[in-house]
Structure 1
Amino acid sequence: MSSTSSRWSQRGQRPVRIANCSGARTDPGFHMRRQAERGDVDFITGDYLAEINLPINKIAMDKGEHDGWEFTCWDGIEQSIDLIAQKRIKIIVNGGALNPAGLAQKVQELINKKKYDLKAGYVTGDDITERTKDGLSKGKLPAHLDSENPDIKLNPLANALQDTKARPIITAHAYMGAKGIVTALENGADIVICGRCADASPVIAAAWYWHGWQNTDYDELAGSLVAGHLIECSAYACGANFAGFDQYDLDIFVDLPFPIAEVERDGTAIITKHDNTNGIVNADVLRCQFLYEIQGAIYLNSDVSADTTNVHFEDVGKDRARMSGVKGYPPPPTTKLAVFYDAGYQAQLLANVVGYATAQKWKLFEKQIRFGLKERGVIDKFDNLEFQIVGTPEPNPRSQLRSTTYCRIFAQSPTEEPCAHIKPCWDDFVMQHLHGLHWSLDMRTAEPRPYIAFYPGLIDQNDLDEVAHVISPDGTVKSVPAKLPSKYYHLERRINFDAEVDALNANQGPTKAVRLGDIALGRSGDKGANCNFGIFPKDPAIWPWFRAFMSRAKLQELIADDWRDEYFIERMEFPDIPAVHFVVYGILGRGVLASTLLDSLGKGFADYIRDKVIEVPVDVLSSMKTTNGTNGVH
């Protein structure tokens, strides 16, 4: 192990090793300690925030039941502080959530108690709740994130927050970049606590500070942005949420490590993990992670716009894969704004039936409930009332569970009353029920519960007040404003082009029915109301056919009964991966906490599409290299 002094004396002369320790509030604190103790790293970063944390924390804070910051972040620092001091590892985390100053003060108290020569810092400026409330009171609705795309039909309830009396604002936050973090580091901070910075911003800041980049070194910053995107999701870059997991020994996916990015001076990076740990890091894993939660070819951050059209992944050793090919441009003039508001009430009720005549049973069930709600005078008072049938009975089933499906009544209403009638209505008909009906043990979920909706907006970067604060051991705080970008990138409409059918027509001939997942890997995830879906062939040899096959029309066909005319598909190709990427606008409803879908974050969408049976030319299949002895087909 290299000495601490020699490692930091090499600052800017070698790649910086940045270890991620969290991708969500639920990741235990010991992951930070593990990243510090298992090998040499220069920085540990952590992303603790999602669209769920901030409003839930705010509601609890207002009741005096929450400190505003994430406990798992504090737990990680508390477990790791001795190693951090010993190895001089710098920490950058957004676990400060609603109260970065409070967590930073607590960290500095721990540092002082331990008598370490370290300083805690924090960044402010993301919380613009009062400004947003004031604007809405004057009728000024922030521009919607998708408002500049004329093809997008926003959910009818997307602008419901304009009724601030019925749906009051809880909290609103701008997604900050790396500028404030770098400013804190330059002014002596060793542990930087952020609020709602963008997921990749801690990694950008670490690489920016280490290599001494200028804010106009766009290619370098763009590379670090993609590196941050690759490692910020817990263990996703080490084999978690990996579509190809079934080709490996399952034991290696138990107790996964978290990833490390070795970011070069030019912004390229090797993604890896500590030695002698479970999991896998390879080009396929990184392809899947790259395709997760992006929208089009231009990845936007407050500090840089990354053109990922020619992104490339290459295996360069055991559990080491290189990322390159990213081009950078000035940042956009706006950044994302997340507004959370009380949306009303929602309720869920689950009922089960067994195989025979299942379709007719669920038709009768819905008729009974709708009749009862009409009799009670509330049938027209719901924002959403859905009867979602989950599962299909197995033909000639070998067990009762294989023959069982369930119906999920999911209701949302602006006031409590309509949702409050769901369970009483069920009670009215419980002894008039259809043949074989039974229900889940816990009926408490049928009671109305308040829920939160998320409005994704835009805010001008020049309107933000981003400030870095560094705490001295005596408690004094030095505050330094972060510098605004020197220029901005003119936002253009995102690239959207369809498949070229010539390559598909040139491969006509005998075909074989296979499941799409037998020949392709992929990943999907949410961005508010929209689902991102990337897919790529297991063998690049079939790319010419595959890119032609995966057209916008084909994806709509594969979506099948889940398709609605108000959705819109955007398509992009990444030829050096090679992969096709889609954004399906509107398919997640209002998204996040307000989505009516069982898979509200779109994480299962990729495998729904990969489970489809398609016809593939025999010549195309024969060109695939053997994959675990299956010739790519199961």
Structure 2
Amino acid sequence: MASRRTVRIGSGAGFADDRIEPAVELAERGELDYLVFECLAERTIALAQLERSRDPLAGYHEWLPDRMRAVLATCAAIGTKIITNMGAANPLEAARVVVEIARREGLAGLRVGAVTGDDVLSLVTAEDLPLLDRPGSVSSLGNVVSANAYLGCEGIVRALAEGADVVVTGRTADPSLYLAPLVHEFGWALDDWDRIGKGLCLGHLLECAAQVTGGYFADPGFKDVPALARLGFPLAVAEADGTFVVTKVAGSGGLVDVRTCTEQLLYEVHDPAAYVCPDAVADFSGVRLCELGTDRVQVTGATGRARPDRLKVSVGYFDGFLGEGQISYAGPNAVARGRLALDIVRERLTTAGLSGADLPYELIGVDAVLRGPRVDVADPREVRVRVAGRTSSLDAAKYLGREVSALWLNGPAGGGGATRRAEPVVAIASALLPRHAVRTEVSIVEA
């Protein structure tokens, strides 16, 4: 494709339950060429695979229809293309949902591309791949429910080349969602490692949405961020050489500066000189951030080297059951009553044969997060007892929660607001699969 001068890409979501209003603001006022929704965490797609196993028409992200109804007509009217991994475990059905919404909106001729091939469960189980993050192989996990490879940008680039206005994928590496439009619009070669590394840097900075506009950065009195209730999501203006500026819609809440960009640049990066992605091994160690003005940060200096010959695979598996119970204590002596409640439950569960390291006893507000030696604090006005742990059966998980909720009448005075839950645990392990074993396919559906 003929190279453009600049490409404007907005971040419409940074996780599954992200807000929709900032994406609408970007669609309406961001003058975007592309709007990207990144909505898949590690466990999200495994849970989606379970949904699809129960209903073959399910498995895409539950908020896909809401997000599409909110922005599709606006984006179509001004020519903004949409890229998202909300296809989760069922990109083809997700594409059909988008087409149905387009038809209802009167958007005849809208083309939706579905990128598939990330579902590699049969390959992973047949090869019994060794695990990346622990001893053993896939078979040692027991009841495996999903295996999805992290795809790179190639399938999205193919869909855009085939005229897709919306591209829906399953498991795709987060930065690759943003790299794809740069490769497509600027005509970058997929082995131009320097530019690919720069594009991955852009994707990494935008992939978590509000984290780079101050949301996760905010710490009142230390790192103040204006108008968080109206927090805007970021956009980037990229040039063909890979230089780009991170900014946001004028007047939206939040901020973009060197500090917010630095925090996001380092987020989840173990080695800034070797950030391994499906499209390249990016090197962020030479990145330079320069504030060009209010809410405008220029990013230069990223580069990259040849992509890995293996792709990371997230393997979802059943790992027992989770039982949890909570109850609150308020007023004078709340901490002492809360600790007594924990002692009571601990003794009852031990008597029933439920004990061990996987069964923490916590006072939220006192020692639920900062563990270690017993924490002594001034007596707060309220605390919340929490006992949660993994069990080998659903009945045991239910029993754990019941013992906590029973404190309402069977424990210290003044307990209230008891809750309990019991559910299967879907855990994640990682493996590596040879790249050549993964076949990416693109299907186009037209409204």
**TM-score of the alignment, normalized to the shorter chain, above 0.5:** yes
> For 1:290, which of 265, 268, 273 is the aligned residue?
265
Q: Where do 1:458-607 residues align within 5 Å?
A: 458-472=432-446
**Gaps (5+ residues) in structure 2?**
367-374
Mapped contact 1:94–1:195 kept (Cα < 8 A): yes
2:201 maps to amino acid: V
Equivalent residue in structure 1 for 2:47, among 56, 64, 74:
56
Partner Cα separation in structure 1 for residue 301 and residue 42 of structure 2 = 30
1:3-82 paired onto structure 2 within 5 Å: 12-64=3-55, 67-82=58-73
Q: What SS class does the counterpart of residue 384 from structure 1 fall into?
A: coil
Q: How does 1:267-346 map to 2 (within 5 A)?
A: 267-297=242-272, 298-346=274-322
In the TM superposition, residue 107 of structure 1 has moved relative to its aligned partner by 2.6
Q: What CA distance in whole angstroms lies between the structure 2 residues aligned with 1:428 and 1:444?
A: 10
Equivalence for 2:188: 213
Cα distance between partner residues in 1 of 2:402 and 2:72 = 54
**For the Cα contact (< 8 Å) 2:258–2:291, is it kept in 1?**
yes
Change (3 A) 1:464 1:161: closer
Tell me the secondary structure at the aligned position of residue 241 of structure 2: coil
Alpha carbons 1:28, 1:76 under 8 Å: kept: no
Q: How does 1:131-530 map to 2 (within 5 A)?
A: 131-135=123-127, 140-144=128-132, 146=133, 154=134, 162-163=139-140, 167-243=142-218, 246=221, 251-297=226-272, 298-351=274-327, 362=339, 368-379=344-355, 384-390=358-364, 391=366, 394-395=377-378, 401=381, 404-423=382-401, 433=411, 438-445=414-421, 448-472=422-446
- Quote the offset at 1:383 in angstroms: 7.2
Rounded to whole Å, the distance in 1 between the matches of 2:357 and 2:139 is 16
Give the CA deviation at 1:373: 3.2
Query: 1:429 offset after TM fit, Å?
Result: 8.2
Alpha-carbon shift at residue 378 of structure 1 (Å) = 4.2
Q: Distance in 1 between matches of 2:293 and 2:442?
A: 39
Equivalent position amino acid for 2:35 in 1: I
Where relative contact order (Cα < 8 A, 6+ residues apart) is larger, the structure is: 2
- Counterpart secondary structure, 1:96: coil
Matched, 1:105 2:96: yes
Distance 1:313 1:173 in 2: 34
Contact preservation (8 Å) 2:324, 2:401: no
What displacement does 1:183 show? 1.2
2:214–2:256 Cα contact (<8 Å) kept: yes
1:389, distance to aligned residue in structure 2 (A): 3.9
Contact 1:169-1:340 within 8 A present in 2 as well? yes
CA distance in 2, matches of 1:438, 1:40: 56
Alpha-carbon distance in structure 2 between the residues aligned to 1:160 and 1:375: 36
* Contact 2:198 2:242 (C-alpha < 8 Å) held by counterparts: yes
- 1:85–1:116 Cα contact (<8 Å) kept: no
Judge conservation of contact 2:3–2:187 (CA < 8 Å) in 1: yes
Q: Over residues 435-460 of structure 1, what are the superposed CA-to-partner deviations in whole Å (9 max), with x where a residue is unaligned?
A: x5653412333xx3222111122222
Taking only the aligned residue pairs, the percentage that are identical comes to 26
* Deviation at residue 37 of structure 1 after TM alignment: 1.1
Q: CA deviation at 1:109?
A: 4.2
Identify the match of residue 130 of structure 1 among 122, 146, 150. 122
Deviation at 1:247, TM superposition (A): 5.2
CA distance in 1 between partners of 2:446 and 2:358 (Å): 53
- Structure 1 position 257, deviation (Å): 1.2
- Give the TM-score, by structure 1 length: 0.63
Confirm or deny: 8 A CA contact 2:4 2:185 kept in the other structure: no
Q: Which has the greater radius of gyration?
A: 1
Does structure 2 retain, via aligned residues, the 8 Å contact 1:189–1:470? Answer: yes
C-alpha distance in 2 between matches for 1:250 and 1:456 = 37
Q: SS of the residue aligned with 2:146?
A: strand
Q: Distance in 2 between matches of 1:256 and 1:430?
A: 40
* TM-superposed deviation, 1:106: 3.0
Q: Residue 339 of structure 1 contacts residue 456 of structure 1 at CA under 8 Å; is this kept in 2?
A: yes
Give me the whole-angstrom Cα distance separating, in 2, the residues matched to 1:428 and 1:75: 40
* Distance 1:256-1:285 versus aligned 2 partners, 3 A rule: same
How far is the alpha carbon of 1:466 from its aligned partner? 1.1
List per-residue Cα deviations over 1:532-556 (Å, max 9, x = no partner): xxxxxxxxxxxxxxxxxxxxxxxxx
Please say if residues 29 and 72 of structure 1, whose CA atoms lie closer than 8 Å, have aligned partners that are also in contact.
no
Structure 1 residue identity aligned to 2:149: A
Q: Return the offset for 1:296.
A: 1.3
- The AA in structure 1 aligned to 2:349 is L
Q: Which residue of 2 aligns with 1:482?
A: none
TM-score w.r.t. structure 2 length? Answer: 0.87
Gap runs ≥5 in structure 1: 1-8, 147-153, 474-634
